[in-house]
Structure 1
C-alpha cells in the first residue's frame, strides 16, 4: 500500500528587491505552524533560485518547540543549529554560493493585516530595523490602535473628559499635547 503525501503549501515569503542597498534583514517569512521540520523545506525551496542551495539554518529555540538537527529539503539535507543569543524573531540561512540570508520570522498565529505590514517592513531595502524592533513596533502599533478607540470611548462616556497624556514610545516620558494640536 502506498501512502500519498499531502502537498506542501508554498512558503509565505517577502524578500527585499535585489539592490546594492543592504539592510539588516533580507525579508520576512510567515510559517503556518511552529513545526520547523515541516515548514523549512518549502522555505528552502523558495529561496533556492535567489540564494542557491541553502545548507545551514540558525534559529533561536525560544520560538520553536522542537529544533531538529537535520531537515530533508528537495535533493539535500539542511543542517539546523540553534543559538539562544540570536534574536528569537530572526532566522539565518546560509548558502555556499550567496552567503547569508536573514529573515524576520512572523509568528504563525499573526493576524493577516499585521503579517502583511511586517512582511512589507522587513523587505524594505536598506532598513536598519532589526527583527525584534519590527515585532515591537507592530505590537505597539496594535496597542496604539486599541488605545485610540478606548480614549474615544472614554470621551463619549465620561462627559468629554481629557484623556491621560500619551507615553512616548522610545523613552517612556509623558507627552502632553499642545493647545490647538490634535492628538494622533
Structure 2
C-alpha cells in the first residue's frame, strides 16, 4: 500500500506577492518615473527579493542588479542567488521620498518600483498601491493582496 503525498499547505498571506505594475507607455511616449508599487512582507531583502523577481513579467528579462535604500532594509549581502542566478545588491544612502527599488536587466531596461513600508496598515498600503493605478490610465494589477 502506498500513501499519497500530503496536500500542499494552504497559501498564507505571506506567500502572496503584493505587486502592482502600470502598463508600459506606447512607443514614442515619455517613460514614467515609477513603474509600479511593491509591498514586501518584511524588511528582510534577502527573503523578499526572490519572491519579487519571480513574479515580474518575463518581458523584463533577467534582473541582474538591484539598487535599494540601505536605511529601509535590514542588513543584506552584496550578492544573492535567485533562481540559480547571482543578483548584485547595491545600496544607496540617498534619502528619497518615496522609497523605491531599482531593478536593472542588461539590454532590457530599468524599472523603478515604489516600496510600500512592510509595516503599513492594509488601508494605507491599499491607498498607495491603488495610487499607482491612477498614475497611468491603463494599469495592470499582478497578484495584489490588498484587503
Name the TM-score class by shorter chain: 0.7 to 0.9
CA distance in 2, matches of 1:12, 1:76: 23
CA distance in 2, matches of 1:69, 1:10: 26
Q: Which runs of 5+ in 2 are unaligned?
A: 1-8, 138-147
Once the two structures are superposed, residues 70-95 of structure 1 have per-residue CA deviations (whole angstroms, 9 ceiling, x without a partner) of: 11211211100001126261110001
Judge which range, 29-38 or 81-90, deviates more: 81-90
Aligned length: 121
CA distance in 2, matches of 1:13, 1:76: 22
- Greater per-residue helix proportion: 1
Are 2:96 and 1:90 equivalent residues in the alignment? no
Once the two structures are superposed, residues 83-127 of structure 1 have per-residue CA deviations (whole angstroms, 9 ceiling, x without a partner) of: 11262611100012421010000011111121111112234228x
Q: 1:74 aligns with which of 78, 83, 96?
A: 83
In angstroms, what is the RMSD of aligned CA positions?
Answer: 2.2
Matches within 5 A, 1:14-163: 14-20=20-26, 21=29, 22-85=31-94, 87=96, 89-123=99-133, 124-125=135-136
Q: Which runs of 5+ in 1 are unaligned?
A: 1-5, 127-184
Shift of 1:49: 1.3
Larger Rg: 1
Q: Relative contact order, CA 8 A, sep 6+: which one is greater? A: 2
Shift of 1:67: 2.6
Classify 1:52/1:103 alpha carbon distance in 2 versus 1 (closer, same or farther; 3 Å): same
Q: Is the contact made by 1:71 and 1:79 (CA closer than 8 Å) also made in structure 2?
A: yes
